[in-house]
A and B are shown apart, each in its own frame.
Chain A
């Protein structure tokens, strides 16, 4: 009950720190399964790439044909030199790409042993890891998609509002992000426009591109669904797009983790583990 003293003075201020339920259990579970899948898919994918470390455009492409990208291992006397070539541009990457140490010895190897699964060269094992986690990733993705569409997650949390995508607002958010000023208080209840757009690009463009280009590398799927070859411009183009998209996802993850750290590491991690996200109410400070 309000006491006499409070009446007529300032309205009761909201608590300084409140907890909201930011992520549903399904979002949290599918998020962490995704972390596991994408990590193992990347590591086994690099193992698979090492079996033929060059990329082509078009329907065909083998070692005799021109490649637009290559991680080469060149012998120079007793030394092995690692070289990454993109088109005509090349740079020496000995120690990491093209030549790296395994068991204390410099070896010709596109991606280094510490980045691949298994660490030693074994295409068959790499493929087994890759396809197992590809299936888990697809099933996990379907569950998330069903929840997003039927459960309203996409409409409620990810669909940008007209105000979100107004150029002025986006420019404003870019400036704020660049200055590491993140939304506080009531505004932090929802994803900001840059977050929404980034997540939408990942969910509806990059991840489907990954699956589509991966399936296009399957000779059996190509027989049943030849339009995939037309969409991606041939099997070797699909392999190139699979590679580029994979590293686009890595770039996303790097920025994503940086933002998680900069905008409140513990609060963000707690919200993705327990669902609880703390909001600091600025008005309360006045």
Chain B
């Protein structure tokens, strides 16, 4: 910033501030807690309506090989920077284990090789980012429902929470760590898979290696990358911001169907 204070600058500054006062009026309304609560009512209406008019088992459209995007845009974290993750990546995730715990009868651990031995599903689907863009890719992975059936859900289980290796925001309390949650309707959807392959190759780091969630029918931020642990829970309001995910804690809808 320049330290020269001229009359001209002062006038420009004043005019800009006056303009900002007008805008601030709108922004005050936008930041008002009650206004936000009223606006957020639409989210529940959207979720209720979409769940009503799109049945739980309905599949998202699957495309053909010819429809695949020439390059799949990597977004969000593209390189987790913890020493632990970098080390695992160097050994092709040989030491990586996926943990399943929480409200399950049999807590489990899977290596990448274990997961690849399980029955898999391959689907060419469209990834829709909340920002507006779309990319089509061919994903292969294990249906999450199969894993959850193997582990066995305890009564009262309602959500699957995904804990990830990437930290999108550096914080002291760990609230910048990426996490996501989905309910059992989406967890048992046939196209909800734990994907280890994109377009016929092992997932690259920028796409969430070694394992990412695909939860078709939702926007991109629900598709957690770098999944390390899945915890089955009956609530998520006691986790970090209480809204069920990294972006949800930063104002985005938990139900990302639109």
Contacts and interface: CB of A to CB of B under 8 A. Distances in A.
A79 B59 CA distance: 48
Nearest to B248: A124
Nearest to B191: A223
A119 B21 CA distance: 11
A238 to B, nearest CB: 10
A23 to B, nearest CB: 29
Task: Give the top 7 A-B pairs by smallest Cβ distance, nearest first.
Answer: A220-B257, A224-B54, A124-B251, A52-B132, A104-B16, A62-B73, A218-B258
10 contacts: A62-B133, A64-B69, A113-B23, A127-B130, A127-B253, A134-B42, A217-B132, A219-B258, A225-B54, A235-B128
Interface in A109-164: 113-114, 117-120, 122-125, 127-129, 131-132, 134-135
Given A59-B67, A123-B131, A124-B250, A131 B46 contact: yes
B138 interface: no
B150 interface: no
Name which of B41, B43, B251 has the most chain A CB atoms within 10 A of its CB: B251
Given A128-B43, A222-B60, A223-B58, A52 B30 contact: no
Interface of B: 12-13, 16-17, 19-20, 22-23, 26-27, 30-31, 36, 38-43, 45-46, 50, 53-55, 58-61, 63, 67, 69-71, 73, 126, 128-136, 216-219, 247, 250-253, 257-258
Interface of A: 48-49, 51-52, 56, 59-65, 101, 103-104, 113-114, 117-120, 122-125, 127-129, 131-132, 134-135, 215, 217-226, 229, 235-236, 239
Given A61-B134, A125-B30, 8 more contacts: A59-B126, A104-B13, A127-B252, A129-B30, A131-B258, A135-B46, A219-B219, A235-B128
A103 B16 contact: yes
Given A104-B16, A119-B27, A219-B218, A52 B42 contact: no
Given A135-B45, A220-B217, A223-B216, A63 B73 contact: yes
Given A128-B42, A129-B30, A60 B216 contact: no
B133 A61 contact: yes
A63 B40 CA distance: 30
A36 to B, nearest CB: 13
A59 B217 contact: no
B217 A60 contact: no
Contacts of A120: 27
Contact of B73 (A64, A132, A223): A64
Nearest to B46: A131
Contacts of B22: 114
Contacts of A229: 61
Contacts of A124: 247, 250-253
B134 A60 contact: yes
Nearest to A105: B16
Contacts of A101: 16
Given A51-B132, A131-B258, A224 B250 contact: no
B22 to A, nearest CB: 8
A48 B250 CA distance: 16
Contacts of B126: 59-60, 219, 222, 235
A218 B17 contact: no
B132 A49 contact: yes
B63 A131 contact: no
Contacts of B27: 118-120
B26 A117 contact: yes
B12 A104 contact: yes
A59 B216 CA distance: 15
A128 B39 CA distance: 6
Contacts of A117: 26, 30
Given A52-B129, A104-B13, A124-B251, A223 B135 contact: no
Contacts of B45: 135
Given A52-B132, A235-B128, A132 B41 contact: yes
B189 to A, nearest CB: 9
B108 to A, nearest CB: 30
A253 B164 CA distance: 48
Contacts of B133: 52, 56, 61-63, 236
